[in-house]
Structure 1
């Protein structure tokens, strides 16, 4: 049996380690071909999905007027978010890296209407309410003896995890596919405080949940580097927490 890796590890690692959140280096002038977005989405939906539900939907917006309307909601939400984070204190919030991140985030509201394509990943259904699910589970099993294992079960967290866990792998696969085609992207949730208004604008049915927004554009330069991260070994435990 061959021990050779099935992929070029150097290129795979470079893709995984340099797919950054691109905000300030988005090329706002160069159109993004529709076929590149379609190719990337075809790869994205190969991602794992719980119970093979495939209940994702992808809404791509390129119309300038519609993007401007979304940008208005985005900028309004940013004002509230900026006011919220400015009230937070602490050394980490005031660190050079934190300030750099905030400056990067602040650039997106100004540019969002000019980004060539905005992709809204959605999920058919509504996010589960963990507390409600747990209460209903307990009600349905109330007749069972006190020592029945069913009383120890809590289904709420599982269903909530499944709901979001079935879309974010696909979103990340989308970003990797875009990056491999010379395109930059980022995940932003900034329009979600006005999700109802966005749904009305875009005709999104009431039973569909908007997960985030992924701005897509070519990048100004391609020399992205791995981010500064705490070494994984310092925050990885084996066989038990803290071990």
Structure 2
């Protein structure tokens, strides 16, 4: 294609082959700090609600700290296996679900050996949707908003702004890593121990840890697009269609 600002084929290849990498992480090859810094500089170009740029990034490479995080990660993983996976018969009988589960189990076993663990954070705590809605109703109860007033709430909008200000940056970070030969994935297994992890890493209680991103060079680079339901089968035009 000519006349376009980017090589569309190459851009699409990056976007469609950036996978969640868990089993093909090179656990023995160090990741230079400069490479992580480059990827993070790309990440912070992502859009953020009201241009707040209220993200923070904690990068962990010290082995002793990774070992402690791995202990907490394993506890969460074991609970997840018992309480979620073992009770979900449909997922256990799905070949792709079993493959994903095995991949997640492999990460749980090796998380301490991943060269770098990155925790994206957001300043502040997640919005309390119920409290915000109650405040909104109190403030608008004496105002006439016309026929639109019934059922109007703003708590969900605030929550969308909160998480929507960090996940675009996380995805940009992952794309930047992929373009440099590294792999990553998003995991939340440490979050049940957010307070303990915060104390371990010096993250204030008023800061939200959003997820954890293990980072390493990949074993091979031959990643392919995943099997997905075609977008046209899940897209409605003008009106919702099931």
Which TM bucket (shorter chain)? over 0.9
Q: Which residue of 2 aligns with 1:238?
A: 237
Q: Which residue of 2 aligns with 1:160?
A: 159
**Are the aligned partners of 1:141 and 1:151 in contact in 2 as well (CA < 8 Å)?**
no
Q: Secondary structure at the match of 1:227?
A: coil
Q: Which runs of 5 or more residues in structure 2 are unaligned?
A: none
Q: Does 1:61 align with 2:36?
A: no
Alignment RMSD, CA only? Answer: 1.6
Return the alpha-carbon distance in structure 2 between the equivalents of residues 129 and 38 of structure 1.
33
Q: Does 1:108 align with 2:107?
A: yes
1:151: Cα distance to partner? 5.4
Q: Which residue of 2 aligns with 1:120?
A: 119
Q: Secondary structure at the match of 2:25?
A: coil
1:140: Cα distance to partner? 2.0
Once the two structures are superposed, residues 129-166 of structure 1 have per-residue CA deviations (whole angstroms, 9 ceiling, x without a partner) of 11110011111222335858555531101000000001
**Are the aligned partners of 1:128 and 1:159 in contact in 2 as well (CA < 8 Å)?**
yes
Return the alpha-carbon distance in structure 2 between the equivalents of residues 44 and 10 of structure 1.
22
Once the two structures are superposed, residues 71-97 of structure 1 have per-residue CA deviations (whole angstroms, 9 ceiling, x without a partner) of 11100000101112211122x441111
User: Normalization by structure 1: what TM-score?
Assistant: 0.95
**Are the aligned partners of 1:138 and 1:151 in contact in 2 as well (CA < 8 Å)?**
no
Q: Which runs of 5 or more residues in structure 1 are unaligned?
A: none
Q: Which residue of 2 aligns with 1:226?
A: 225
Poorly superposed stretches of 4+, deviation over 6 Å: none
Once the two structures are superposed, residues 73-128 of structure 1 have per-residue CA deviations (whole angstroms, 9 ceiling, x without a partner) of 100000101112211122x4411111001000101111100000000000000000
Q: Secondary structure at the match of 2:120?
A: strand
